[in-house]
């Protein structure tokens, strides 16, 4: 996985790079990517994160909620040439890589974040954007268990989601997928 390196540092150090300037015309998307994992048998030499970033840039998307990442643990990855940073939350690396949620955020916006996205589980991740003094926008990306999933998995998901929703201040804005 690539490091953001010098290019990302230069982007983040530019003046007047405040998040509020992006929120005026924020383009948000949702994408079930099916996987962000690369494999040696892939017919295309480009990494999946690069392919996805290219499509996001083509549609001028600032933030995309991504599901079914199939990545382990939590982390972030920057695609500096494509202009996006990925944040994800998945299952433990000792478990089978299923589900997984995340956000792909345009680099100029990502370096303006006051808080990084917070992974609650492999099925819930939150992005909190500062709008104004004491006002925030919460983007919650969820990937619910399907009907054949075990009842304990479904119950845990809905319990986690209730806790997340309960903890959001009533004055804040909320968007869920």
Which pLDDT tens digit goes with each residue over 109-126? Answer: 999 899 999 999 999 999
Mean pLDDT, the chain, whole residue set:
85
The pTM score is: 0.84
96, 76, 95: which is closest to 87 by C-alpha? 76
* Neighbouring residues of 130: CB distance < 8 A, sequence distance ≥ 6: 19, 20, 114, 115, 136
Strand, coil or helix: 166: helix
Amino acid 44: pLDDT: 61
pLDDT tens profile 141-163: 999 999 999 999 999 999 999 99
Segment 72-115, tens digit of pLDDT: 999 999 998 889 999 999 998 888 878 999 999 999 999 989 99
Gap between the Cα atoms of 23 and 54, Å rounded: 21
Please list, in sequence order, all residues whose beta carbon lies within 8 angstroms of the beta carbon of residue 42, skipping any fewer than 6 positions away: 48
Domains of the chain: 5-176 (3.60.10)
Dist CA 52 CA 5 (whole Å): 20
What does the pLDDT average to over 45-59?
89
- The token duo for 167 is 């903890």
Structure tokens at 22: 């992006």
Q: Is the pLDDT of residue 46 over 60?
A: yes
Burial class of residue 65, CB neighbours in 10 A (0-12, 13-18, 19+): buried
């Amino acid at each position: 996985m690539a490091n953001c390196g010098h290019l990302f540092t230069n982007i983040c150090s530019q003046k007047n790079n405040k998040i509020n300037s992006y929120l005026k015309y924020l383009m948000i998307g949702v994408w079930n990517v099916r996987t962000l994992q690369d494999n040696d048998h892939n017919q295309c030499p480009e990494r999946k994160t690069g392919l996805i970033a290219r499509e996001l840039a083509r549609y001028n998307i600032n933030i995309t909620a991504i599901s079914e990442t199939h990545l382990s643990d939590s982390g972030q990855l920057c695609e500096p040439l494509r202009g996006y940073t990925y944040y994800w939350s998945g299952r433990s690396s000792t478990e089978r890589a299923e589900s997984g949620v995340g956000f792909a955020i345009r680099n100029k916006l990502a370096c303006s974040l006051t808080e990084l996205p917070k992974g609650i589980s492999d099925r819930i991740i939150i992005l909190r954007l500062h709008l104004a003094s004491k006002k925030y926008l919460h983007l919650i990306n969820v990937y619910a268990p399907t009907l054949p999933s075990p009842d304990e998995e479904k119950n845990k998901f809905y319990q986690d989601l209730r806790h997340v929703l309960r903890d959001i201040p009533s004055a804040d804005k909320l968007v869920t997928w």
